[in-house]
Amino acid sequence: MVITGAFWGDEGKGKIISYLALKDKLDVCVRTGSVNAAHTVWFEGKRYALHMVPAAFVYEKCRLLIGAGSNVHVTQFLKEVEETNVKNRIGVDAQASIIEEKHSMQDKTSAHLKGIGTTGWGVGPAIEERVRRTAKLARDIPELKPYITDVAEETNNAIDADKKVLLEGTQGLMLSLFHGTYPYVTGRDTSAAAICSEAGVGPTRVDEVLIVFKSFMTRVGAGPLPGELTKEEAIKRGWFETAAGTGRDRRSAPFNFEIAKKAVKINGATQAALTKLDSVYPQCKGARSFDELSSDAKEFVREIERQVGIPVVLIGTGPEALDIIDRRK
């Protein structure tokens, strides 16, 4: 299964992945992308904002991998491995590239990148260096030695053995270098096809593409956001958020069906998850079954299904991994 974001990231992929890890007992989870993305996971009363470690770490038997297409921040990786206590079950592909302090400096001092409102981690400059073929790779870094593996080999072997494998995307389609709101995008394609490519898994091997929608849209940094609300209005509606990674204000707007349709199409999504339904319909907070939802909330879910043409199988009703309505069976 591939997990992908529909909007500008921060849809709640971390929460959905942590739920699936625990509920479905995932065998393998491969993270793609880089350190710019923070995946929030609430687990046993503790909040994690993960920039490197896959969100499936909450299930203690899950093998955690970082794909060849990813970009590894070594100190952040080592810090999170410590915090999540996953030293003996995490691996990094030998050919993942390395993001360094100099990339962050280049990012922060570029007027152009400042105008885009990047996260400042240096992901754009690090990818530029990779494209020039002068970047360091994970295999060149002594501290990563205990973690080095062949992620494509491990992942494809797991699929051959009928194990449960999840590929964890970062950001959302509207931040895709190819399909998003260029130039206000991140430094990579964020679609399901790119997630497969970064992990080293061919498209014929994927059973499900699960797209994650939030019940309203947010974006951090510059660039268009259709239907954008003022900060005052966002606060009034209970939609005002700050970024898990950088602490910046998130801009917000109501759910947009046209963007949702485009994201389903380009990702080839087969199922959807809808997060934060309780932020739009507060009486839904903590609901664990569809019947518990108010009639307007049910109607919103059905309207999404009608318009995008795929089922909404998971519905988030609170922050904890298990605050979810699971309609899969």
Active site residues per annotation: 10, 39
Counting residues that bind ligand IMP (by CB under 6 A) gives 21
Nearest to 211 by CA among 259, 159, 278, 163: 259
Q: What is the DSSP letter of 17?
A: H
The pattern of x and - marking residues 160 through 189 that bind ligand IMP according to CB under 6 A reads: ----------xx---x--------x-xx--
- 246 vs 294, beta carbon nearer ligand IMP: 246
Binding of residue 57 to ligand IMP (CB under 6 A): no
Reported in sequence order, the residue ranges of the chain that DSSP labels E, i.e. its strands, are: 2-5, 28-31, 39-43, 46-50, 63-66, 71-72, 90-93, 97-98, 148-149, 165-168, 209-214, 216-219, 241-242, 249-254, 271-275, 312-316, 324-326
Task: Decide which of ligand IMP, Mg ion, none touches 317; Cβ closer than 5 to 8 Å per partner kind.
Answer: none
CA 98, CA 88: separation in Å to the nearest integer?
A: 21
* Binding piece for ligand IMP, criterion CB under 6 A, among 88-96, 119-127, 134-142, 317-325: 119-127
* Binding piece for ligand IMP, criterion CB under 6 A, among 4-12, 85-93, 283-291, 319-327: 4-12
The label of the residue with tokens 């205990």 reads 146
CA 87, CA 64: separation in Å to the nearest integer?
A: 10
* Binding piece for Mg ion, criterion CB under 5 A, among 23-31, 36-44, 99-107, 271-279: 36-44
Through-space distance between the first and last CA atoms of the chain, rounded to whole angstroms = 17
Task: Decide which of ligand IMP, Mg ion, none touches 144; Cβ closer than 5 to 8 Å per partner kind.
Answer: none
Question: Hey, which residues between 213 and 252 contact Mg ion (CB under 5 A)?
Answer: 244
DSSP string, 147-185: GEE-HHHHHHHHHHTT--EEEE--S-GGG-TTTSSTTSS
With a CB cutoff of 8 Å and minimum separation 6, the contacts of 46 are: none
Whether 312 contacts 293, CB under 8 Å: no
- 220 vs 301, beta carbon nearer Mg ion: 220
Binding of residue 53 to ligand IMP (CB under 6 A): no
Instruction: Using CB under 5 A, pick the residue from 10, 27, 80, 154 that binds Mg ion.
Output: 10
Binding of residue 37 to ligand IMP (CB under 6 A): yes
Instruction: Using CB under 6 A, pick the residue from 7, 42, 121, 300 that binds ligand IMP.
Output: 121
- Residue 257 Cβ vs ligand IMP, minimum distance, rounded to whole Å: 21
Residues that bind ligand IMP (CB under 6 A): 8-10, 36-38, 116-119, 121, 123-124, 170-171, 175, 184, 186-187, 220-221
